[in-house]
Structure 1
């Protein structure tokens, strides 16, 4: 049964690679390019998962407990994680699937992410992690906090997402010139045709639903998750403890495998070595991701996709601060850097306040 994690991860990695489902680029583009499409795609995936998972809960097929809300750790960790994904060039899941494309910079970021996650969860920084996470509010569920049924919030959220979906599809389409298809039929659809982000999001949402019963069948009472399984891989390599090899570990390894298959099939796989500056940035970003995600109790998937779908304070507060962290880093890495370059090229001076 544990091998179902490998299958689920392979599906997720394949879909994310082919659909270019990159939340780092999506959050960054909201600020720099004023392009919200990837953020809207994330909302679609959240809505699909929320409806599906709570339907499974209501049918008694899976169990879920929201627990308490570690608000300080969530805010601080999510903001740091948002900064980290900009330096790393991809979020936790994005780093896994980009590594499957042969991007060496993503492998560097991935090592930093795994190492720092392990240090936070079972190493010298564990006391700090536990101390900040101990500052909690008793109720994490938005429904329990308000006394309303969770379906009220799911219905309102789904209605808003449906309105956004219809509005975006009604906008005039920008025709992008494409080369004549070299393949036909299923091969063209899977490996050559450009995937719409909303279509990709719906499949991601369905995979996220599937992850719950598959994971719980092995005793892991959760859905998609990236940070803890990533730390578990390094912990296993160091300790050799086979108990660490759970469903989640096979999930993240499956993402790597699925992305590799997609990249090879679409002829996008190739080893790309970063320059020194990019390599250092990737490693720093990976460490910031591992620190922030461990502290916040989840990454852009664990909190931003799963805990938001479960209608928890942790999920939505985390998503907000991940975005704010991404925007903050984007300002210093992209906006301010470009301003300095333009000023130097024009011969004008920069006055800092």
Structure 2
């Protein structure tokens, strides 16, 4: 067996996977098939995100801090594949669904910037916070709690902004209305290629300035270097199948196909944060708070109908379980609640900013960014711009002030 490999954890991991499968089949038998599919899809997404170390926030943070652009370029590949696939679905009418066209409003600009700030301070975006929670990271749990509470606050802020004339201004812009679906796909792909080129150019500049740091795999997830004969029942084989880290490219391609799977099986887009408001309302109602406003009508209805039973809620729970399943089967699960007070503060601030930002922008890096771009909506590109600016702001202003924002390596 490999050094420090925890066989007990691996056993628990496979028991967890079997339990999820049994629970999903039970749901299927009692005719709650839709929710069963959402749960399993979420588990697979969480597993892929964790095993490939894939994350949306890292697309900004990694290249800025280390100069290494592999995650950013993998994100562009994922967006490109999904854009073509979803665009083809739009064009052929293969699946009947309403494209997500996020209105370009003041809320989108402000929300994207606040979300970008928060994801850096909290060490991850919405999907990243969920998977990090499944990995046992205490900071992620703090970020998640304040993300949920911040989502409730965000509804109040959004209502206040939309009550003003400038806050009401704006509309959804569906690129095919101006370019046709093929033209919109082509323009989107050109935009993604431009970002790829910028990221690689920046990487080359950092290399030339000796300010580049190649990302290294952790010892436990690196490929085992062994030229011995193949043995099916060996730790090397187990490590290859269940432990070895997947590349960003592998993760991006798998996530692109999973996004299309969600569209085809549910007729909806992949989203994460919409249900956070409902979770926050449900918790605060237990403390005696009431939410009579129109902005909370959907959340109150979700609470009355069952919080976790919503499609997004089931998928989010699946993300946590999928991450947990990977780290258990890899024998590397570890609870980490050793946090400095200043880090706790920044996790809380980051989570709150993401919650408010996601509500203002009608989504996070999954809902507003990923779903926006692949549905050929200008709103997705606006969110990408403002989220990136917000992320860079936090990376610049808070560098070295908390564990989630390291100091950028400078030229020697």
TM range (shorter): 0.7 to 0.9
TM alignment of 1:47-62, pairs within 5 A: 47-57=80-90, 58-62=92-96
**Residue equivalent to 2:276:** 230
Q: 2:316 aligns with which of 225, 237, 252?
A: 252
1:208 offset after TM fit, Å? 0.9
**Residue equivalent to 1:83:** 117
| Contact map agreement 1:236 1:242 (CA 8 A) in 2 | no
272-281 vs 175-184, which moves further: 175-184
Instruction: State how far apart, in whole Å, the 2-side matches of 1:233 and 1:321 are.
Output: 27
| Contact map agreement 1:75 1:321 (CA 8 A) in 2 | yes
Instruction: State how far apart, in whole Å, the 2-side matches of 1:249 and 1:279 are.
Output: 26
TM alignment of 1:1-353, pairs within 5 A: 1-57=34-90, 58-67=92-101, 69-121=103-155, 124-125=156-157, 127-128=159-160, 130-131=162-163, 134-144=167-177, 147-158=178-189, 178=222, 180=224, 183-185=235-237, 187-216=238-267, 222-237=268-283, 238=285, 240-242=303-305, 244=307, 245-273=309-337, 274-334=339-399
Instruction: State how far apart, in whole Å, the 1-side matches of 2:386 and 2:193 are.
Output: 25
1:241 offset after TM fit, Å? 1.1
Instruction: State how far apart, in whole Å, the 1-side matches of 2:264 and 2:44 are.
Output: 16
1:25 offset after TM fit, Å? 2.5
State the Cα RMSD in Å. 3.1
Deviations 1:178-208 (A, max 9, x none): 56367344x4344322211011101011111
135-144 vs 2-11, which moves further: 135-144
1:231 offset after TM fit, Å? 2.3
Q: 1:125 to 1:53 in 2, by over 3 A?
A: same
Query: What secondary structure sits across from 1:334 in the alignment?
Result: coil
TM-score, structure 2 as length reference: 0.71
Instruction: State how far apart, in whole Å, the 2-side matches of 1:74 and 1:162 are.
Output: 24
Instruction: State how far apart, in whole Å, the 2-side matches of 1:174 and 1:275 are.
Output: 25
1:161 offset after TM fit, Å? 5.9
1:291 offset after TM fit, Å? 0.4
Q: 1:87 to 1:160 in 2, by over 3 A?
A: closer
| Contact map agreement 1:115 1:290 (CA 8 A) in 2 | yes
| Contact map agreement 1:183 1:192 (CA 8 A) in 2 | no
1:213 offset after TM fit, Å? 2.9
Structure 1 gap segments, 5+ residues each: 217-221, 343-353
**Residue equivalent to 1:349:** none
TM-score, structure 1 as length reference: 0.82
Q: 1:243 to 1:214 in 2, by over 3 A?
A: farther
Query: What secondary structure sits across from 2:365 in the alignment?
Result: coil
Deviations 1:103-157 (A, max 9, x none): 0110000000011113333xx445225447953433421222xx21122232354
Instruction: State how far apart, in whole Å, the 2-side matches of 1:37 and 1:128 are.
Output: 40
Query: What secondary structure sits across from 1:138 in the alignment?
Result: strand
Instruction: State how far apart, in whole Å, the 2-side matches of 1:303 and 1:154 are.
Output: 18
Size of the aligned set, in residue pairs, is 327
| Contact map agreement 1:215 1:247 (CA 8 A) in 2 | no
Query: What secondary structure sits across from 2:323 in the alignment?
Result: helix
Q: 1:100 to 1:335 in 2, by over 3 A?
A: closer
Query: What secondary structure sits across from 1:241 in the alignment?
Result: helix
Structure 2 gap segments, 5+ residues each: 1-33, 205-213, 226-233, 286-299
Q: 1:36 to 1:254 in 2, by over 3 A?
A: same
Q: 1:7 to 1:175 in 2, by over 3 A?
A: closer
Instruction: State how far apart, in whole Å, the 2-side matches of 1:183 and 1:136 are.
Output: 60
